[in-house]
Amino acid sequence: MPAGDNNSFPGSVAIALAAIIIPILLSIFARNPPISRRPSNPNLTVKDPTTAADMDGIRHRTLTLNGINVHVAESGPADGPVVLFVHGFPELWYCWRHQMAAVASHGYRAVAPDLRGFGDTDAPADPASYTAFHVVGDLVALIDAVAPEGQKVFVVAHDWGAYMAWYLCLFRPDKVKALVNMSVLFNPRSPNRKPLPSLKAFLGDDYYVCRFQEPGVIEAEFAELGTERVLKEFFAYHTPAPLYMPKSKPFGHSPDVQIALPPWLSEEDLKYYIDKFEKTGFTGGLNYYRNIDRNWELTAPWQGDQVKVPVKFIVGDQDLTYNTGNARDYIGKGGFKRDVPFLQEVVVMPGVGHFLNEERADEINSHIVEFIRKF
């Protein structure tokens, strides 16, 4: 659930909280990609019964990339076209288990790492080791390790993974054949305002991205709540509004409130996440948020640059990213298409929240396979 620099607030304030996708009016279809609210090919259904106990098709290995040990899960034929899956927070490679099985069944080679700071991948201690340059460096090294020399890969990403996938396409478009990005819109860099002060000004100090900034503070609160409770809170968040985390009411309500698992996440699935985050803690993932302003500083050379790879974008209409800020002008007046000129489609999924790749796995599988088969 990232946030950063986006022109989604009045006065071109930079907000990358996860950008917001809205239906584009028919009157401007001529200059914008179409928005659909269903799979564009309803006859293409890519199902996957994968559960935590049925992972025989997944291969695991550890690669030394960009100076760290990176855990990588793979599925599908070793010589198939590579589909690189990039997760967000608080996720792991595991959030792509359904999509990996789906693309593998169509002859693709699915590759899903735990990003630095997550799961079984190394977690550098220095918060400054989690910039876009570091993470994209890991992804480029991974692409070089798994793809034949000179071969581009498909990229599928969500949340912080989507944020980094935009940077990957901005920095190294020569590595990417096409991108399916979810939840987080491309965020053009504002030259005049840093993201974090803008977030505080418009959303306040209790806004979750602001609360994540000081090392150790939110970790202590999460430790008091317990790993299971924290993960349940994140995965069950299905409110079409910004997430606030005041100290007196973590996640906006009393800790005594009972949190039920969403129907798309089993107890077995939750246990996988709990086991990994119990070992690593949340600091690695939180360090991505702590580099929002640093990313803004480092990416000045790309000011005004475009993402020039074919893109399909998918978001749920109940996603907090869809319901925070004011990106309607950015989408409706052609800003998104201007900054991502090869944007081919925006899909808004009715009734779907933030973790759409797990909540509506079959539909997401269909969207991915249908799109990458075009290339």
Q: Taking the chain, what is the end-to-end CA distance rounded to the nearest angstrom?
A: 30
Distance CA 160, CA 290 (A): 12
Q: What is the mean pLDDT of the chain?
A: 88
Residues 304, 204: Cα–Cα separation, whole Å: 28
pLDDT higher than threshold 90 for residue 211: yes
Res. 12 pLDDT band, cuts 50 70 90? very low
CA distances (Å), origin 243, targets 19, 29, 203, 326: 14, 32, 10, 16
pLDDT > 70? residue 154: yes
Q: At 200, list the tokens.
A: 């505080």
In the prediction, which pLDDT does 242 show?
Answer: 92
Tell me the pLDDT tens digit for each residue of 71-92: 999 999 999 999 999 999 999 9
Taking the CB of residue 149, how many other CB atoms lie within 10 A of it?
5
Of 112, 173, 143, 151, whose CA–CA distance to 305 is shortest? 173
Q: Residue 210: what pLDDT?
A: 97
- What pLDDT shows up at residue 324? 82
The CA–CA distances, whole Å, from 228 to 5, 224, 242 equal 31, 11, 22
Find out whether 78 and 51 touch, Cβ atoms under 8 Å: no
Tell me which residue of 175, 177, 171, 161 sits closest to 117, measured CA to CA: 161
**Active-site residue numbers?**
159, 289, 354
- In the predicted structure, residue 235 carries a pLDDT above the cut 50: yes
pLDDT value, residue 255: 87
| Span 252-304, pLDDT tens digits | 888 889 999 999 999 999 999 999 999 999 999 999 999 999 999 999 999 99
pTM, rounded to two decimals = 0.88
Whether 182 shows a pLDDT value over 80: the answer reads yes
CA dist., res. 313 & res. 347, Å (int):
6
Both tokens of 204, joined, read 């306040």
Instruction: State the average pLDDT over residues 91-101.
Output: 98
Per-residue model confidence as pLDDT tens digits over 300-331: 999 999 999 999 999 999 999 888 876 566 77
Residue count of the chain: 375
Return the H-helix or E-strand segment holding 36: strand 35-36
- Report how far residue 237's alpha carbon sits from residue 318's, in angstroms, rounded to the nearest whole number: 10
Alpha-carbon gap, residue 144 to 153, rounded angstroms: 10
Tens digit of pLDDT for each residue in 15-74? Answer: 333 333 333 333 333 344 455 544 444 334 444 434 443 466 899 999 999 999 999 999
